[in-house]
Amino acid sequence: MRIVSFTMTCLSVNFLLLTTISALSDLAATTTHRSPLYNFGPASQRDTVLFSAERPGNPPGKNDPIPDERVVEWIQFMQEKEQNIHTVVALLDENELVNYQPTGLLTLYRQYGLKCQVQSMSDPRAANNLFHLFEQAEAAQQRVVTHCTGGIGRCGRVEGAWLMHRYQLTAEQASQETLLCAQHVGMIRACDPVQLKQWLDTQRLGYS
112 assigned to some structural domain:
yes
Which range is least confidently modeled, 5-14, 30-39, 41-50, 65-74?
Answer: 5-14
Per-residue pLDDT reduced to its tens digit, 57-95: 987 566 788 999 999 999 999 999 999 999 999 999 999
44 assigned to some structural domain:
yes
The total domain count for the chain is: 1
139 assigned to some structural domain:
yes
Q: Which CATH number goes with the domain that contains 45?
A: 3.90.190.10
Strand-pair partners of 100: 66
177 assigned to some structural domain:
yes
Q: What is the pLDDT of residue 21?
A: 33
d(CA 111, CA 76): 12
Q: What is the pLDDT of residue 64?
A: 83
Crossing angle for the helix pair 171-185 and 193-202, to the nearest 10 degrees: 120
Q: What is the pLDDT of residue 11?
A: 42
Per-residue pLDDT reduced to its tens digit, 126-183: 999 999 999 999 999 999 999 999 999 999 999 999 999 999 999 999 999 999 999 9
Average pLDDT over residues 184-198: 96
Q: How many residues does the chain have?
A: 208
48 assigned to some structural domain:
yes
**46: containing domain:** 37-202
28 assigned to some structural domain:
no
pTM across the whole model: 0.80
142 assigned to some structural domain:
yes
d(CA 145, CA 43): 10
127 assigned to some structural domain:
yes
User: Is 47's pLDDT higher than 90?
Assistant: yes
